[in-house]
Structures are given as structure tokens and as C-alpha cells.
Amino acid sequence: MSDQFSDTPATRAELRRVAAAVATEAAARLRALPAPRSVDADPAGVSTKSSPTDVVTAADKEIEALVRRRLAELRPGEPVFGEEEAGDAAAARWVVDPIDGTVNYLYGLPSYAVSVAAVRDGVSVAGAVVEPVSGRVWTAALGAGATLDGRPLRVSGETDLALALVGTGFAYRAERRARQAALVAGMLPRVRDVRRNGSAALELCGVAAGWLDGFLEHGLGWWDWAAAALIAAEAGAVVRHPVPPTYGPDGGGGPGGDDGLGRDATLAAAPGVADGLAALARELGSAGV
């Protein structure tokens, strides 16, 4: 394993640069590929994973392979844990989601992103989320703030939960989606409104930018939030996420252990509404979702 991964501000800045460069290159390649439902696409290039609605495209696999190659060149000897090819989570120095929002990508919707995070002992220390369609580049390093296209980010100043715009998402299995829908139904009369764009990484980045006041979703993978949760936290959000695989009981139970939100809940919110959003989620049965 590379000995380059000393945990200093200078190293984190370099890892942030590498994450942004690799994610940007991957996003450019993704833009150049035929849309998966276009006449030029290979009809065999779409398959499923955990359920018939949990899709993976040939592009997911190609982009992850590209990211792995580039990281091996730029940071030799540092193991990668990715959504499509997995890896040794305990040894991982990088966590990769080649396309966060694959269903959006499949249907030609613009909300999807490439996510690359540098981690140490399960903790994100730098990361980037790049949107292929818009070209936006979100980055952060632990203790060094978050940016969008080089501009510093800050969460919203909202303090009234009733006026908070909250993002969410849904799992692929029908029985869990029903429980999540019940939670959202209970939440709707108590907040300004709820949004769902189909990419957890971009919704977490939306919290960082103040475009959303909060976000709550159950069942995300490490790759979904490894970079974006750091971006939200570095922009001032209160963030609670599951423990990465092998770093906690059953791979879940966010920082501080079981807090009544559910072992695999991810929550990010502006400080003025974070406690209220968490309390509302508990009241509505978040632990059982």
C-alpha cells in the first residue's frame, strides 16, 4: 500500500485535487457515451441487481473501471471500494460511485453524478461529486470547507422546520418503499415541501449549497454518501450517516450509535432545523423504515 496517505492538511488538499480531476475526467467520458436508451446503445448494456428496478448499465461498469485505472496511476497502491466491483471495505482508501442516479441516467434525466471520495479508516477526508450534464464540480476536504466550481458553500440559515425544504429518496424493494412513503406522507404536512431528484449525492450537495434545508434517506450505500456527506458537513450541515461496512455492527448505526433514526439512515440538515427534522423522523417511525 502507498505510504502517501499521511493525514495532513496538505495531503487532504492533494487528495481533493485528485478526486476532482478523476471525477471530472470520468464525467467527460460518461457524456461521450451513447445514452443507454438511444438507438446507438447496446440493448444488452442494461441489467439489474437487487431487484428489477435496481439497474446497472454498461456505462456504470466502464466509468468505474476508468476511475480505478486513473486512481491506480495517480495514487498507486491505494485500494478502491466501488459500487460495481466492490473491494475490501476495511482496506479502502477510495470509495467510488461511477453513476449516482443510474435510473435518471437510463431515462435521460439530468440528475446524476460521478462520486469519488478519499477515506482513511472509514472516514471521508476528501471528495468530489461531478455532474456530467451541467459540468458542476463539488469538492471538499476535511477541515478545509466545501466548494461548488471553486466558490465556497454554506448551508441555509433556516430555523423553522415548517418552512424547510427537505430532500429524500426511496429504496428499490417495494416493501421498503411503502414504509418510506408512509414516513414522507407524515412529514409533508410538517415541512414546507419534499423533493426527490433521484441522486442522493446531488441532494446532499444541495443541502451544502442551501438549495435544500435537509435530507433524509434510508438504505444508501457507502458510495452514495462518501463524498457528498463530507461536502455537506464542510458546508456547515449537521450530518448523520451509517457506519461504513466493517466499521460498525452490521455495517450500520451512524456516528454515536443507534439514535432512533434507523441503522442505515442518512440525515443532513442546516443546523437550525437538524434537531427538529431528526425528532420528526423519530416520531414518524424512522427506526422501523
Q: Which residues in the chain come in under a pLDDT of 70? A: 1-5, 37-56, 246-257
- 53 burial (CB, 10 Å; 0-12 / 13-18 / 19+) is middle
What is the tens place of the pLDDT at every residue in 209-263? Answer: 999 999 999 999 999 999 999 999 999 999 999 999 866 544 444 444 579 999 9
Task: Report all structural domains of the chain as residue ranges with CATH numbers, in order of start.
Answer: 9-152 (3.30.540.10), 161-288 (3.40.190.80)
Locus of grid cell 417495494: 174
CA distance 140 to 137: 10
Three-state DSSP class for 214? strand
| pTM for this model (two decimals) | 0.91
Amino acid identity of residue 61, one-letter, is K
CA distance 240 to 261: 9
CA distance 230 to 77: 24
Q: Determine contact, residues 219/264, Cβ cutoff 8 Å.
A: yes
For CA atoms 77, 81, 86, 89, give the dihedral sign. Answer: positive
Q: At a CB cut-off of 8 Å and minimum separation 6, what does 73 contact?
A: none
